[in-house]
Amino acid sequence: MSQEMARGMEVRTDFEQQLERFFDLLEQSITTGDPAWMDPILLDWAKSSTETDLEDEPYQISFLINRMIALTIQVARETLTKQQALDLLAAVIPIYTYGLEVVARYEMETRVAHISSEMEKVQKRMERVDKSKSAFISVAAHELKTPITLIEGYASMMDDLTQEGKATNLDGLLVGMNTGIERLRAIGDDMIDVSMIDNNLLQLNFQPMQVSQMVDALCLEIEATTNARKLTMDIRDFDGNKQWIYVDATRIMQALRNVINNAIKYTPDGGTITIDGRTLSGFIEVTVRDTGIGISHEDQSEIFEKFGQLGRVDLHSSGKTKFKGGGPGLGLPIARGILEAHGGSIWVESKGHDERTNPGSTFHILIPSRTESPDPRMTELFDTLGKGKDEEVVE
Ligand code: ADP
């Protein structure tokens, strides 16, 4: 029987022992006339099968017992007289039937419990999505409303001046209006980027670039702000800084920009932002360290999730580089999406959040140091250009 039944089923090493136990208990049940003797082994079997096979093969033990019934009948037919066979079957069939009932009930109960716990998880996830959706709507509405109010204000001033015939020089007002428009465009772009990242639609355009070039360009961009906020930019010359690697420079710069802008936003005036790095095997690691308010341990993974900081909707004040000026909470998820699309990653280290002691934060950005473009024609083109100009092209 053990040979027949082990076939086609997962053969457990102790299967024979288990069968022996089964038949011992079966004997006890027949002798005492109480099928409940079978309970321990039936429940053990049902439990081990439902725990491991819930997803693919439920009802294994019911199947096993059905096979046992068929085999018992076969053995009875082949080896016993008619009367013996009848006696045997009269004795064992009620116990097998009882066994089937117990196992089926247990398997069903376990399945129902499994489904309920799955449903509970889905419901919790939906509640979280729902919460972040409504928080997103309120932040997005606020983020959009601020520049719209700005634009409205300038438009109405222009209107007044034009009415009064004093519209000789509207340059200042136009600049203000443009700031509002730029802000709106940036929010729109961020939203599009997030949805592209979510749907794996981010297309990368690989070109050779040096980390130092990207950092220098970004420092130029933020110079006016860092001067105004009296922040020191400490740009280190690290190993790998000048290595030519294939990246989508616009996207990597966007990721770096988001991290550096946050460093500016969350560091009080007079602080320092240090950009350093090193080479690791297959990667260049860039670190952006600030002397700002820091990030609590709970928030350190949350902030890379979309709208991760939405818990504090009330804090939103819409400022790109203003101290603690909130944003739509998309900067870090976008940075992570860009780096992951490149095969890199991003994480943060911080001793915690404290606005008095300013423990600071360090963002680690891992950029794969690809020495070839995914498109071989691109590598060929730049190799020839590089060699033609006798530039340092790292192999
Ligand atoms: P946003 O800046 O639009 O709020 P981000 O995704 O860029 O969204 O950042 C998410 C959150 O992470 C921020 O709201 C802030 O709470 C926290 N954070 C990010 N960078 C820093 C930093 N350098 N120091 C302290 N907190 C930070």
Residues with CB under 6 A from ligand 1: 258, 262-263, 266, 290, 292-295, 303, 308-309, 326-332, 361
Phi, psi for 323 (deg, rounded to 5): -60, 125
Predicted pLDDT at 319? 56
Whether residue 307 has pLDDT greater than 70: no
Predicted pLDDT at 171? 87
* Candidate of 197, 231, 262, 365 to mutate for ligand 1, largest count of ligand atoms within 8 Å of Cβ: 262
* Candidate of 309, 321, 347, 354 to mutate for ligand 1, largest count of ligand atoms within 8 Å of Cβ: 309
* Candidate of 267, 274, 288, 303 to mutate for ligand 1, largest count of ligand atoms within 8 Å of Cβ: 303
Between 40-44, 204-208, 245-249, 297-301, the lowest mean confidence (pLDDT) is in 40-44
pLDDT band at 3 (very low <50, low <70, confident <90, very high): low
Predicted pLDDT at 393? 47
Distances (CA, A) of 133 to 139, 315, 336: 10, 17, 20
**101-120 pLDDT, tens per residue?**
988 888 888 889 989 999 99
Q: Which residue has the higher pLDDT, 279 or 53?
A: 279
Distance 33 CA to ligand 1 centre (A): 72
Q: Which atom of ligand 1 is nearest to the CA of 263?
A: 23
Between 46-55, 282-291, 357-366, the lowest mean confidence (pLDDT) is in 46-55
Is 242 within 8 Å of 392 (Cβ atoms)? yes
Distance 203 CA to ligand 1 centre (A): 25
The token pair at 35 is: 């099928």
Nearest CA to ligand 1 atom 19: 262
pLDDT band at 377 (very low <50, low <70, confident <90, very high): confident
Distance 323 CA to ligand 1 centre (A): 11
Between 145-149, 223-227, 250-254, the lowest mean confidence (pLDDT) is in 145-149
Question: For residue 203, what is the DSSP state?
Answer: P
Question: For residue 9, what is the DSSP state?
Answer: S
Whether residue 49 has pLDDT greater than 70: no
Distance 243 CA to ligand 1 centre (A): 29
Whether residue 243 has pLDDT greater than 60: yes
Between 147-151, 175-179, 310-314, the lowest mean confidence (pLDDT) is in 310-314
Predicted pLDDT at 59? 58
Distance 345 CA to ligand 1 centre (A): 17
Q: Which residue has the higher pLDDT, 97 or 167?
A: 97
Contacts of 370 (CB under 8 A, 6+ apart): 206, 245, 246, 247
Distance 294 CA to ligand 1 centre (A): 10
81: left (phi over 0), alpha (psi -120 to 50) or beta: beta
| Global confidence as pTM | 0.67
Predicted pLDDT at 108? 85
Q: Which atom of ligand 1 is nearest to the CA of 308?
A: 10
Count CB atoms within 10 A of the CB of residue 5. 16
Distance 232 CA to ligand 1 centre (A): 20
Distance 125 CA to ligand 1 centre (A): 24
Average pLDDT, integer, range 74-102: 92
Q: CA-CA distance, 68 to 72, in Å (whole number)? A: 6
Distances (CA, A) of 366 to 87, 280, 332, 347: 76, 9, 14, 9
Distance 313 CA to ligand 1 centre (A): 13
Distance 98 CA to ligand 1 centre (A): 63
Whether residue 177 has pLDDT greater than 70: yes
Is 25 within 8 Å of 37 (Cβ atoms)? yes
Predicted pLDDT at 339? 97
Q: Which residue has the higher pLDDT, 106 or 386?
A: 106
Between 175-189, 218-232, 349-363, the lowest mean confidence (pLDDT) is in 175-189
Q: CA-CA distance, 30 to 93, in Å (whole number)? A: 10
pLDDT band at 41 (very low <50, low <70, confident <90, very high): confident
Closest to 270 (Cα-Cα) out of 235, 227, 236: 227
Whether residue 311 has pLDDT greater than 50: no
* Candidate of 332, 347, 349, 354 to mutate for ligand 1, largest count of ligand atoms within 8 Å of Cβ: 332
Whether residue 329 has pLDDT greater than 90: no
Phi, psi for 278 (deg, rounded to 5): -165, 165
Average pLDDT, integer, range 327-354: 93
Q: Which atom of ligand 1 is nearest to the CA of 294?
A: 25
Q: Which atom of ligand 1 is nearest to the CA of 315?
A: 14
Is 369 within 8 Å of 283 (Cβ atoms)? yes
Whether residue 10 has pLDDT greater than 60: no
